[in-house]
């Protein structure tokens, strides 16, 4: 264990050289590192590899607009002069943070939040607050239909007297399943005292911890977690631009974006040749820095051509280039207007953007004009590498697939409605969950897995995934199996009635 150096130093700002860091670091950060280099060596070493350890904000602010990684107009005096180190973030806005605690003479908080990051990355934090992902916690927790779906998946079932019963999931299960990605509520539940290598210390006890979900409710009241994509203390733009980051939450059959990307030509080029690409530059030059898009290229990044002309502006409102929402809900539909989707009500009073029979609930959804704007923003990205006819042809297929997969979902839904009506399954009319029976789960798979997988395969040209892997084969087979089951069940009722 090293002796903390601060006691020996007469200067407020240290050179970082002692730690292999090129930027000057603050006295407070110096103190953090002195112990944590031994207590949590991976964190310190990760940070040392970050741009935060190499460039001070004052320098970052001087870059021309397109090269700026810091969007704030100014950064408060002292912060601008040193590396962005431990103390800079973990002591930011202490009064707002319920998780602030006294630690070695500093007011430290555990959870760094978008509001903390906004000090330098203002535009990104503001955009992200309008991104539907920032509302991922509430959009699940406060939507009774979806909350019920989650319970039916995560609850514990028992079997007694030939019947199954469901116990709702405990908080630990919820935190490591749905809310792992959607975000937990991180709140302070008390204090605990613990023996450490530095003697006895107090620490806050947090609920929902650990978590780095995109819609995390933070102890300062803000929403989201920048570290979901800009991972932990290295904050690597390379990592945020690589598809593996998105895959953490967007790989399962409910949202198989990464799996589709992997089998697409784009994904193939990335896997085969990406090792030669440059994932660092801002702005990101199409064709020079990379020769096929990653998730970030199409959905978020600032890209330019070699002449320096902007292809797409950076956005952290990830739906800016998305006219349609193709997953998670029963039918594909225009994107919702508000990132808070709990405001939506359909004619049946359900918090869904379409009726059960597919008609969009237009007032809560973006209009054709906004769709056109977003479609054009995306097309501009495509046109960097593809001819006009190519892009139009691709898009025509995609929108056709939205219609056919919606039709295939409607077919399954009609069977579901028949089962409820005929009493061989119990639904809303019986005040029962619509996700707890085997037949209802088959219906849910039709849209939650197969229809949306087919749409992703179409959207991103990963055809192989959309046919046999998890797409049309299952979409078509599922309907026949549902028909089989329905026929059997209704015959069974007839038999019973006869006897």
User: Which stretch, 21-29, 69-77, 89-97, 491-499, contacts its own copies (CB under 8 A)?
Assistant: 491-499
Cα-to-chain-centroid distance, residue 185: 16
Nearer to its own copies, 13 or 34 (CB): 34
Task: Kindly list the distances between the CA atom of residue 43 and the CA atoms of 47, 79, 107, 422, in Å, as whole numbers in the listed order.
Answer: 6, 21, 20, 60
**CA distance linking residue 77 with residue 249, whole number of Å:** 38
By rule CB under 8 A, what count of residues binds its own copies? 137
Nearer to its own copies, 63 or 189 (CB): 189
**Other C-beta atoms lying within 10 Å of the C-beta of residue 278:** 11
User: Which stretch, 33-41, 119-127, 316-324, 346-354, contacts its own copies (CB under 8 A)?
Assistant: 33-41
Q: Report residue 455 as tokens.
A: 């749409």
Q: Which of residues 143-162 bind its own copies (CB under 8 A)?
A: 152-160, 162
Nearer to its own copies, 74 or 271 (CB): 271
Nearer to its own copies, 57 or 90 (CB): 90
**CA distance linking residue 215 with residue 136, whole number of Å:** 5
Under rule CB under 8 A, residue 103 binds its own copies = no
Q: Which of residues 439-468 bind its own copies (CB under 8 A)?
A: 439, 441, 448-449, 457-458, 461, 463-468
Q: Which of residues 377-436 bind its own copies (CB under 8 A)?
A: 383-390, 393-394, 396-397, 400-401, 404, 407-408, 411-412, 414-415, 418, 436
The single residue listed with the structure tokens 């950060």 is 29
Encoded one letter per residue, x for contact with its own copies by CB under 8 A and - for no contact, window 180-209 reads xx------------x-x------x-xx--x
Indicate which single residue of 136, 330, 366, 469 sits in contact with its own copies (rule: CB under 8 A): 469
Residue among 378, 395, 233 nearest 301 (CA)? 378
Under rule CB under 8 A, residue 22 binds its own copies = no
Under rule CB under 8 A, residue 231 binds its own copies = yes
Nearer to its own copies, 127 or 152 (CB): 152
Nearer to its own copies, 59 or 407 (CB): 407
Burial track 109-126 (b if 16+ CB lie within 10 A, e otherwise): bbbbbbbbbbbbbeebbe
Encoded one letter per residue, x for contact with its own copies by CB under 8 A and - for no contact, window 110-139 reads x-----------------------------
Dihedral of the CA atoms 194, 195, 196, 199 (nearest 10)?
A: 120
**CA distance linking residue 229 with residue 239, whole number of Å:** 8
**CA distance linking residue 467 with residue 424, whole number of Å:** 31
């Amino acid at each position: 264990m090293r002796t903390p150096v601060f006691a020996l130093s007469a200067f407020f700002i240290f050179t970082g050289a002692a730690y292999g860091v090129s930027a000057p670091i603050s006295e407070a950060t110096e103190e953090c590192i002195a112990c944590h280099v031994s207590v949590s060596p991976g964190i310190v070493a990760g940070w040392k590899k970050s741009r935060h350890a190499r460039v001070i904000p004052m320098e970052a602010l001087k870059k021309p607009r397109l090269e700026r990684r810091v969007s704030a107009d100014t950064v408060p005096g002292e912060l601008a002069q040193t590396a962005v180190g431990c103390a800079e973030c973990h002591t930011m806005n202490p009064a707002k943070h319920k998780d602030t605690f006294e630690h070695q003479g500093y007011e430290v908080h555990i959870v760094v939040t978008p509001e903390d990051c906004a000090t330098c990355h203002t535009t990104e934090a503001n955009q992200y607050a309008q991104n539907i992902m920032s509302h991922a916690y509430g959009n699940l927790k406060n939507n009774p239909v979806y909350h019920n779906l989650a319970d039916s998946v995560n609850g514990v079932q028992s079997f007694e007297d030939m019947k199954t019963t469901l116990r709702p999931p405990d908080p630990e299960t919820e935190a490591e399943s749905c809310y792992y990605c959607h975000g937990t509520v991180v709140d302070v539940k008390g204090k605990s005292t613990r023996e450490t290598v530095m003697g006895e210390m107090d620490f806050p006890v947090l609920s929902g911890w650990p978590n780095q979900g995109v819609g995390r409710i933070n102890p300062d009241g803000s929403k989201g977690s920048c570290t979901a994509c800009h991972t932990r203390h290295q904050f690597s733009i390379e990592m945020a631009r690589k598809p593996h980051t998105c895959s953490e939450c967007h790989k399962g059959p409910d949202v198989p974006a990464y799996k589709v990307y992997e089998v697409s030509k784009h994904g193939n080029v990335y896997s085969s040749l990406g090792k030669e690409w440059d994932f660092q530059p801002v702005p990101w030059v199409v064709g020079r820095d990379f020769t096929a898009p990653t998730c970030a290229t199409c959905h978020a990044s600032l890209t330019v051509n070699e002449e320096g002309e902007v292809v797409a502006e950076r956005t952290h409102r990830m739906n800016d280039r998305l006219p349609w929402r193709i997953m998670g809900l029963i039918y594909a539909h225009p994107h919702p207007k508000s990132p808070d989707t709990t405001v939506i009500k359909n004619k049946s009073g359900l918090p869904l953007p379409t009726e059960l029979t597919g008609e969009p609930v237009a007032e809560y959804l973006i209009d054709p004009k906004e769709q056109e704007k977003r479609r054009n923003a995306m097309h501009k990205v495509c046109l960097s590498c593809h001819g006009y006819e190519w892009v139009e042809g691709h898009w025509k297929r995609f929108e056709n697939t939205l219609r056919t997969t919606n039709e295939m979902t409607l077919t399954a839904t009609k069977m579901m409605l028949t089962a409820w009506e005929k009493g061989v399954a119990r639904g809303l009319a019986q005040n029962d969950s619509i996700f707890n029976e085997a037949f209802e789960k088959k219906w849910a798979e039709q849209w939650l897995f197969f229809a949306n997988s087919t749409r992703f395969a179409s959207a991103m040209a990963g055809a192989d995934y959309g046919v046999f892997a998890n797409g049309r084969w299952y979409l078509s087979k599922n309907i026949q199996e549902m028909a089989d089951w329905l026929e059997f069940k209704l015959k069974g009722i007839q038999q019973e009635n006869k006897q």
